[in-house]
């Protein structure tokens, strides 16, 4: 861009200098366009080059990551894992790729690789902790609480397998079988049972390896194991096992070569040679035959002169093959020769063309096998013995001009001599004899056997000590076969079975990829979040209660597993408490397919499992996913998330699935089905937030709730307050840069830091990892700050739950909607630094909830004032404002939603207020009257005073006038007399003393 600007400035300058010359202006305009196009073309070329380079680097990095994952999974110590990711050469190579990607400007891919590398390290540490603390019996059994569960180690993969004679899509580890329905795949039925490209029921893979070496790289001397290894190395897809198939191939090749080398053109089987001779006897006199023969002979002379091997794609050989293919499709004699064995017409034509081409090019005698020569001699002797020569000649002489029919008569006579009928060609017992008969008949057809062409060579191959297992291997590892049968089997295998298997494999891969994208297979694999921490609350509380429920649903490992499986796990809590995270973790560790059904996507409109009734595409996909989970039928966790957004009628569909019947109605591929999942490994889990929307949408059918084990993850379960409080700290470790080091270390170190922060003393605290004193001090300081944050968030959480669980009719203040979840804790924890003061931490908390309250729109002020009120940080103005809001709230509640402008509502509200006031006055009067009517008792002091007065009066004759005056005023409130500070009665005696009588 910079250079383009500079050049354009120069062009503009030239335009200004020659503005008066029109011809220059036109030329400069054209030059400007050429410059711009040149720069744009170069820019695009550089971008494409950079993108290609980035793509290649990404592919290389992904291969490295795959290797790192397997290597890290085998390490048995946390320090070893950290050391591996710190110093391994492949890790360093990956970091170099990240740096190179940054250098070429592709920061997106660089950041992604760096994140994946860090996640891989964290996941390796997490898996190691789980293996040591949760797994038993060598890693195949997982312990949750007091229950053990078997672990499925199969990856969820889609494949095509034969099921009940039909190719079906199959999801590994499940009971999912779906017919493929591809006509193209059905046409490859012959290779369905073939497991690898190098072996089938008739060919042993070591035979195939030896045959390929014989065809492509025949050794000049005796073959060696090193040559076999060199040839075998790039053929990794053929499934050879070192020490077995390589050694067997060497033994077979060693046995084949002594037969193969001296056979020459007899390497071609007798049926092939008979077909070639018959064809040439018919074709040689035709114009094409007369044209081809001298050309092929001349080619053979050239090869003998200058050397060189025969080429399979030589034009003359190809022309012969086409002619032979046409001949085999119309000739009855050719059909008979093909029917004797299992070679296809195309293969017979190919082999016959190769033999005929080599025979004509060699210019030598036509080779004859010892068996054919002996058979011809025996046939002649039999004719003489039976005096049948004349009769035989009468049979063939009329057919001199018809080589094909003459050939058929010869086969019929010679076969009759041996007691072999051509109608028994399908019987494998007669195959070798008929082959030699066909060769004898072909030589008789061309005028008889050339004795110089007869070759007394055995075609039997024998060896022993083979290590593999196959039908062609005899007892004790012995191996024996005829060379021509060996060649025919292997030729057919290479020309027909291998291409058919490879085509079938490619077709399967194409079909699998298409079906995989249709069902979105990758979404069903449980993936543990990189920030997940198996803290003490999860380990000691949640996993045991989840284990108790899963023991009822999927059974336990061992012979004591339950067969009466039923139940439902229902998790409720405010958002951010990890309902989905913990269940995805459980599914991942148990190897269950995680089928998450998204409640908000379903909505309240979905009431059935018929995808066609879904109101929109997203709802339809979720319904199809649920039906797919039922179709899987085993090793699956059906997780329905955010059920507060679903219709109760939809949830009713799960009632029979969650009881002992374990059945559910579903629809798959447009057909209604009843799924019977009794005894199957199927877990049903639902999660929701009962406090959303005031709880008005959270409705669960009673019969479903009755079958569920319900737990609130956002509330404190009995007796586990410390674990619940500690979970806030443990879950935010990765969010804080200072505490993030602890996340990849021993869990005991986390508790050690928390103990020091809580007690203020390091006495008796030991760390398993190596931490510098300065690091420990920083971590302790941050943890102390997080304790303050945790306490505030916990209070917010408790107030949120208390307020959300309250009926609107009973409220005396606006609903409190600020939340105190793990998410809130993590957001604040990421900003906490060791050197912060408590006032700064308080400021962080206040800023966080001030921002959180903004999303509440009209309720923002009330929620923030409520937060400040119960935190004790509200000033007088804010307290007054909060009191005013509560009064106004009560006033609006009295209106009952009628509004200020509704006169009826105002009257009803006023009357309701008067009634409440009168009821209050009435209750006070009734209570006061009840107390006043009770008998009054005098205090001890009063009684003592009365006694003294009475005694004095008795001693002195006086006249006493007593006036009793109530102390209580009539206008004052009625009080309990025994609780009054004054005496209940006040005496005012008037005493007049008189002289005693005389």
Q: What share of the chain has pLDDT > 90, as a percent?
A: 30
pLDDT score at 612: 93
**Cα–Cα distance between 109 and 430 in angstroms, integer?**
68
Q: Is residue 78 part of a domain?
A: yes
Indicate if 668 and 740 belong to the same structural domain. Answer: no
More reliable by pLDDT, 283 or 986: 283
User: Region 297-304: what's the mean pLDDT?
Assistant: 88
Work out how many domains the chain is built from and give that number: 5
Kindly tell me if the per-residue pLDDT of 911 is higher than 70.
Answer: no
224 shares its domain with 357: yes
Instruction: Establish if 151 belongs to a structural domain.
Output: no
Q: 38 pLDDT exceeds 60?
A: yes
- pLDDT, tens digit (0-9, with 9 covering 90-100), for 318-352: 999 999 999 988 888 888 888 777 778 888 888 89
- Domain boundary residue, one of 117, 133, 149: 133
Contact criterion met (CB below 8 Å) for 652 and 704: yes
pLDDT of 404 over the 80 cut: yes
Domain termination site, one of 133, 155, 183: 133
Residue 989, CB-side half-sphere exposure with 13 Å CA sphere:
12
738 and 679 part of one domain:
no
CA–CA gap between residue 933 and residue 275 (Å, rounded): 133
Does one domain contain both 672 and 746?
no
Beta pairing class for 135-136 and 986-987: unpaired
pLDDT-based confidence at residue 916 (cuts at 50, 70, 90): low
**Which residue, among 649, 549, 551, 539, has the nearest Cα to 585 in the 3D structure?**
539
The per-residue DSSP string of 486-525 comes to: HHHHHHHIIIIIHHHHHHHHHHHHHHHHHHHHHHTGGGGS
Q: How confident is the model at residue 961 (pLDDT cuts 50, 70, 90)?
A: low
pLDDT at 309 over 50: yes
pLDDT of residue 977 exceeding 50, the answer is no
pLDDT of residue 974: 45
In this structure, is residue 922 part of a structural domain?
no
Q: Model confidence at 430, in pLDDT bands (50, 70, 90)?
A: very low
> Where does the pLDDT of residue 19 fall: very low under 50, low under 70, confident under 90, or very high at 90 and above?
low
DSSP per-residue string spanning 356-380: HHHHHHH-SPPPEEHHHHHHHHHHH
Tens digit of pLDDT for each residue in 631-685?
998 999 999 999 989 999 999 999 999 988 889 999 998 899 999 998 889 999 9
Smallest CA-to-CA distance from 248 within 472, 489, 482 is with 472
Residue 752 falls within a domain, yes or no? yes
- At residue 627, the pLDDT reads 94
Looking at the predicted structure, is the pLDDT value of residue 469 above 50?
A: yes
Instruction: Tell me the C-alpha distance between 966 and 426, whole Å.
Output: 135
Mean pLDDT: which of 137-141, 629-633, 934-938, 976-980 is highest?
A: 629-633
Is 667 within the bounds of a domain? yes
**Where does a domain end: 485, 514, 544?**
485
Say if residue 335 is in the same domain as residue 475.
yes
Least confident segment among 462-471, 554-563, 983-992: 983-992
pLDDT exceeds 80 at position 42: no
Q: Hunting for tokens 């500079």 — which residue is that?
A: 6
| Rounded (10°) angle between helices 225-232 and 245-263 | 110
Residue among 378, 359, 379, 371 at smallest CA distance from 457: 371
Share of the chain above pLDDT 70, in %: 87
Q: Does residue 190 belong to any structural domain of this protein? A: no
Which pLDDT band holds residue 424 (cuts at 50, 70, 90)? very low
pLDDT at 162: 86
Residues 85 and 38 grouped into a single domain: yes
Give dist(CA 451, CA 156) in Å, integer. 67
Q: Quick one: pLDDT band at residue 694, thresholds 50, 70, 90?
A: very low
Range of the domain at 628: 525-635+642-687+697-703
Given the structure tokens 């002649």, which residue do they identify? 380
Least confident of 360-364, 613-617, 804-808: 804-808
Question: Given this model, what pLDDT does residue 244 score?
Answer: 94
Q: Which 3 state secondary structure label does DSSP give 663?
A: strand
Q: Per-residue pLDDT for 618 more than 70?
A: yes
Mean pLDDT of 135-149: 83
Segment 842-882, tens digit of pLDDT = 999 999 999 988 888 778 899 999 999 988 888 999 899 99
- Specify whether 124 is located in the same domain as 211: no
Asked if pLDDT for residue 768 goes beyond 80, the answer is yes
989 vs 538: which has the higher pLDDT: 538
What is the spatial distance between Cα 120 and Cα 7, in angstroms, rounded to a whole number?
49
Distance CA 397, CA 394 (A): 6
Q: For position 935, what pLDDT does the model report?
A: 60
From CA 666, how far away is CA 632, in angstroms rounded?
Answer: 12
Give the neighbor-by-neighbor strand order of the sheet with 636-641: 593-598, 636-641, 682-688, 568-572, 708-712
| Measured distance CA(797)–CA(822) in Å, rounded | 10
DSSP H helix total and E strand total for the chain: 37, 21
Hey, which of 66-80, 494-508, 915-929 has the most confident mean pLDDT?
Answer: 494-508
What is the average pLDDT score of the chain?
A: 84
CA Rg, the chain, in Å? 49
Q: Report pLDDT for 652.
A: 93
pLDDT tens-digit series, residues 226-267:
999 999 999 988 999 999 999 999 999 999 999 998 888 888
Are 560 and 618 in a shared domain? yes
The residues, any chain, with a CB within 8 Å of residue 523's CB and separated by 6 or more, are 596
Higher pLDDT, 25 or 786: 786
pLDDT band at 597 (very low <50, low <70, confident <90, very high): very high
pLDDT for position 976: 46
Measure the CA–CA gap between 973 and 929, rounded to whole angstroms: 11
Q: Band the pLDDT of 22: cuts 50, 70, 90.
A: low
Question: pLDDT value at position 439?
Answer: 85
Angle between helices 860-871 and 876-895 (to 10 degrees): 130
877/893 Cα distance (integer angstroms) = 24
Band of the pLDDT at 197, cuts 50, 70, 90? very high
**pLDDT exceeds cutoff 90 at 841:** yes
Neighbours of 911 (CB within 10 A): 10
Task: Please state which of the ranges 18-32, 511-525, 868-882, 966-980 shows the lowest mean pLDDT.
Answer: 966-980
Q: What is the layout of strands, in order, in the sheet containing 158-163?
A: 158-163, 166-171, 177-179
pLDDT band at 428 (very low <50, low <70, confident <90, very high): very low
- What is the reported pLDDT for 978? 46
977, 936 contact by CB (below 8 A): yes
Of 118-132, 274-288, 421-435, 681-695, the range with the lowest mean pLDDT is: 421-435
State pLDDT tens for residues 82-113.
Answer: 888 888 888 899 999 999 888 888 888 889 89
What angle, rounded to 10 degrees, do the helices at 838-853 and 773-804 form? 40
The pLDDT of residue 993 is above 60 = no
* pLDDT tens digits, 478-515: 999 989 889 888 988 998 899 999 999 999 999 999 99
**Per-residue pLDDT reduced to its tens digit, 710-751:** 998 877 666 788 888 888 998 898 889 899 888 777 788 888
Q: Tell me if 445 is assigned to some domain.
A: yes
**CB 397: neighbour CB atoms within 10 A?**
9
Distance between CA 876 and CA 648 in Å, rounded? 47
Same domain, residue pair 245 and 314: yes
pLDDT band at 695 (very low <50, low <70, confident <90, very high): very low
* Location of structure tokens 């017992």: 429
Give the per-residue pLDDT at 88: 87
- Residue 931 is predicted with a pLDDT of 64
pLDDT at residue 398 is higher than 70: yes
Angle (deg, nearest 10), helices 22-73 and 2-17 = 180
Question: Any idea of the CA torsion for 966, 967, 969, 973, to the nearest 10 degrees?
Answer: -100
The rounded distance, in Å, linking the Cα atoms of 105 and 107 is 6
- For residues 240 and 251, give the distance between their C-alpha atoms in angstroms, rounded to a whole number: 15
Residue 915, domain member (yes or no): no
Predicted local confidence at residue 458, as pLDDT: 83
* Burial class of 34 by CB neighbour count within 10 A (0 to 12, 13 to 18, 19+): exposed
Distance from C-alpha of 711 to C-alpha of 717, rounded to nearest angstrom? 9
Shared domain check, 476 and 564: no
pLDDT top residue among 669 and 987? 669
Statement to judge: residues 753 and 667 lie in one domain = no
Q: Are residues 530 and 594 in the same domain?
A: yes
pLDDT band at 957 (very low <50, low <70, confident <90, very high): low
DSSP assignment of 558-614, as one string?
A: STT--SS---EEEEE-STTS-HHHHHHHHHHHHT-EEEEEEHHHHTTT--SS-GGG-
* Average confidence (pLDDT) over 684-698: 72
């Amino acid at each position: 861009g910079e250079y383009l600007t500079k050049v354009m400035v120069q062009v503009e300058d030239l335009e200004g200098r020659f503005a008066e010359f029109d011809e220059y202006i036109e030329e400069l305009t054209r030059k400007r366009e050429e410059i711009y196009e040149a720069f744009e073309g170069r820019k695009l070329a550089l971008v494409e080059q950079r993108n290609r380079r980035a793509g290649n680097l990404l592919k290389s990095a992904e291969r490295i990551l795959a290797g790192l994952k397997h290597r890290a999974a085998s390490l048995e110590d946390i320090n070893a894992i950290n050391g591996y990711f710190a110093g391994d050469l492949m890790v360093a190579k990956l970091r170099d790729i990240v740096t190179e990607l940054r250098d070429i400007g592709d920061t997106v891919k660089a950041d992604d690789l760096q994140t994946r590398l860090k996640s891989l390290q964290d996941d390796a540490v997490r898996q190691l902790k789980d293996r040591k603390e949760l797994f038993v019996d060598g890693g195949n059994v997982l312990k949750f609480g007091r229950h053990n569960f078997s672990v499925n180690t199969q990856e969820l993969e889609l494949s095509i397998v034969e099921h009940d004679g039909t190719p079906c899509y199959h999801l590994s580890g499940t009971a999912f079988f779906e017919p493929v329905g591809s006509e193209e795949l059905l046409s490859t039925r012959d290779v369905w049972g073939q497991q690898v490209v190098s072996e089938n029921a008739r060919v042993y893979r070591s035979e195939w390896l030896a045959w390929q070496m014989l065809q492509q790289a025949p050794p000049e001397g005796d073959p060696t194991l090193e040559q076999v290894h060199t040839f075998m190395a790039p053929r990794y897809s053929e499934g050879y096992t070192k020490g077995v198939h390589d050694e067997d191939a060497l033994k077979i090749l060693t046995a084949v070569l002594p037969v193969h080398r001296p056979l020459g053109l007899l390497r071609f089987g007798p049926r092939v040679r008979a077909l070639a001779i018959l064809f040439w006897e018919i074709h040689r006199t035709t114009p094409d035959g007369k044209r081809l023969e001298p050309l092929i002979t001349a080619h053979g002379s050239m090869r003998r002169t200058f050397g060189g091997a025969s080429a399979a794609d030589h034009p003359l050989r190809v022309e012969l093959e086409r002619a032979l293919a046409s001949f085999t499709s119309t000739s009855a004699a050719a059909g008979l020769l093909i029917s004797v064995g299992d070679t296809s017409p195309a293969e017979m034509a190919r082999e016959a063309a190769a033999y005929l081409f080599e025979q004509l090019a060699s210019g030598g005698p036509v080779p004859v096998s010892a068996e054919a020569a002996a058979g011809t001699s025996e046939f002649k002797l039999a004719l003489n013995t039976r005096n049948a020569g004349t009769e035989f000649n009468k049979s063939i002489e009329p057919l001199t001009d018809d080589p094909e029919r003459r050939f058929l008569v010869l086969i019929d006579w010679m076969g009759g001599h041996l007691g072999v009928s051509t109608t028994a060609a399908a019987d494998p017992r007669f195959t070798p004899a008929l082959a030699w008969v066909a060769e004898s008949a072909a030589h008789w057809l061309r005028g008889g056997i050339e004795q110089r062409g007869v070759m007394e060579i055995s075609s039997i191959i024998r060896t022993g000590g083979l290590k593999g297992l196959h039908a062609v291997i005899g007892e004790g590892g012995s191996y024996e076969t005829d060379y021509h049968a060996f060649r025919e089997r292997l030729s057919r295998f290479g020309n027909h079975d291998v291409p058919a298997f490879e085509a079938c494999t490619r077709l399967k891969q194409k079909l699998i990829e298409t079906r995989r994208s249709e069902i979105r297979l990758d979404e069903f694999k449980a993936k543990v979040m990189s920030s997940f921490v198996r803290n003490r609350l999860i380990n000691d509380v949640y996993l045991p209660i989840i284990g108790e429920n899963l023991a009822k649903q999927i059974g336990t490992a061992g012979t004591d597993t339950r067969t009466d499986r039923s139940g439902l796990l229902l998790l409720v809590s405010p958002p951010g408490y990890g309902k989905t995270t913990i269940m995805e973790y459980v599914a991942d560790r148990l190897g269950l397919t995680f089928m998450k059904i998204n409640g908000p996507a379903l909505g309240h409109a979905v009431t059935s499992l018929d995808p066609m009734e879904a109101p929109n595409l997203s709802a339809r996909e979720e319904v199809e996913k649920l039906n797919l989970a039922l179709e899987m039928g085993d090793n699956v966790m059906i997780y329905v998330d955010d059920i507060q957004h679903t219709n109760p009628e939809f949830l009713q569909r799960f009632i029979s699935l969650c009881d002992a019947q374990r059945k559910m109605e579903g629809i798959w591929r447009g057909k209604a089905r009843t799924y019977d999942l009794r005894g199957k490994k199927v877990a049903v889990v639902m999660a929701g937030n009962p406090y959303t929307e005031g709880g008005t949408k959270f409705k669960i059918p009673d019969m479903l709730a009755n079958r569920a084990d319900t737990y609130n993850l956002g509330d404190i379960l009995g007796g586990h307050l410390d674990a619940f409080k500690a979970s806030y700290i443990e879950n935010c470790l990765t969010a804080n840069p200072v505490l993030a080091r602890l996340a990849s270390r021993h869990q005991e170190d986390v508790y050690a830091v928390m103990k020091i922060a809580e007690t203020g003393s390091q006495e008796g605290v030991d760390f398993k990892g190596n931490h510098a004193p300065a690091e420990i001090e920083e971590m302790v300081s941050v943890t102390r700050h997080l304790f303050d944050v945790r306490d505030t968030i916990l209070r917010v959480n408790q107030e949120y739950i208390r307020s959300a669980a309250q009926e609107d009719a009973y409220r005396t203040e606006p609903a409190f909607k600020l939340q105190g979840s793990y998410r809130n804790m993590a957001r604040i924890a990421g900003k906490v630094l060791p050197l912060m003061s408590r006032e700064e931490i308080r400021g962080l908390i206040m800023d966080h909830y001030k921002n959180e309250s903004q999303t509440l729109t009209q309720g923002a002020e009330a929620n923030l004032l409520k937060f400040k009120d119960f935190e004790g940080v509200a000033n007088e103005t804010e307290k007054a404002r909060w009191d005013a809001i509560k009064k106004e709230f009560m006033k609006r509640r009295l209106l009952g939603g009628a509004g200020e402008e509704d006169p009826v509502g105002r009257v009803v509200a006023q009357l309701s207020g008067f009634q409440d006031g009168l009821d209050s006055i009435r209750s006070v009067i009734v209570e006061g009257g009840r107390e006043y009517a009770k008998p009054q008792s005098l205090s001890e002091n009063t009684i003592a005073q009365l006694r003294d007065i009475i005694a004095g009066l008795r001693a002195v004759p006086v006249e006493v006038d007593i006036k009793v005056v109530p102390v209580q005023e009539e206008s004052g409130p009625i009080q309990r007399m025994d609780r009054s500070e004054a005496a209940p009665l006040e005496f005012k005696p008037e005493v007049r003393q008189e002289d005693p009588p005389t």
